[in-house]
Amino acid sequence: MIYSPDDYYFWNNEDISFQKAVLVTVKTVSKWCDSYQATIKSPKTSLQIKYKSGDLPKTAADKEKFVINVLNWIWDNSKNERYFRLYLIKNIQEKQVNVFVHDDDANWGLELSEDEFRALQKIFKKNCLPEDLFSKKEHTIIAIPKYYEKWSVLRRILFGGTHAFSPKTWESMKKYGKDKKYIIQKPE
């Protein structure tokens, strides 16, 4: 199952620390992973992008320490704490699954079983993070602004205009009537 971060908690919400949310998530999911890829996309000291990859240690405790060091390497050497790429990868037979993906601030998520996700939610709760920090990608609300309604699909694709809202953001928009400016393309 694919889970997306609920942007409600990461944009204009000072109650949730981005670094804490990423750190807790990465520490938890690392125990289900075998390898990693990390890229500093906006280095502090040079123009050259920095990259690391390899296998994770074998034990859960060693994996946790290792990924903390990788995140500290990223954050210590980046101009922007949110502008990096990190993949935590699980090998299942001949296939690789990207369990944790962070590729810039707008593109990140998880691929977990429902049991793994419930375990992660318990860890969120223990760390004073919202249990709905991530939601199933299928619950994302896809909408277009009402003024785009008359535009053709091709024109909307070429010029943009399709928006994806997390469940919590959409709920907040409904509360203030901002949802009235949009037409839902993918049902709630």
Q: In 3D, which of 153, 176, 139, 150 has the Cα closest to residue 7? A: 139
Model pLDDT for residues 145-164, shown as the tens digit of each residue: 877 776 666 666 666 677 88
Q: How high does pLDDT run on average in the chain?
A: 87
**Range with the poorest average pLDDT among 34-48, 62-76, 140-154, 173-187:** 140-154
pLDDT per position as a tens digit, 117-147 = 999 999 999 999 999 999 998 898 888 787 7
98 has which bridge partners? 89
Residue 67: name the closest of 37, 112, 104 by CA. Answer: 37
pLDDT reported for residue 123: 97
Two structure tokens written together for 44: 């502090």
Give dist(CA 86, CA 71) in Å, integer. Answer: 9
**pTM summary value:** 0.85
pLDDT at residue number 157? 66
The whole-number average pLDDT for the span 7-26 is 85
Assess whether pLDDT exceeds 60 at residue 112: yes
Percent of the chain scoring above 70 in pLDDT: 89
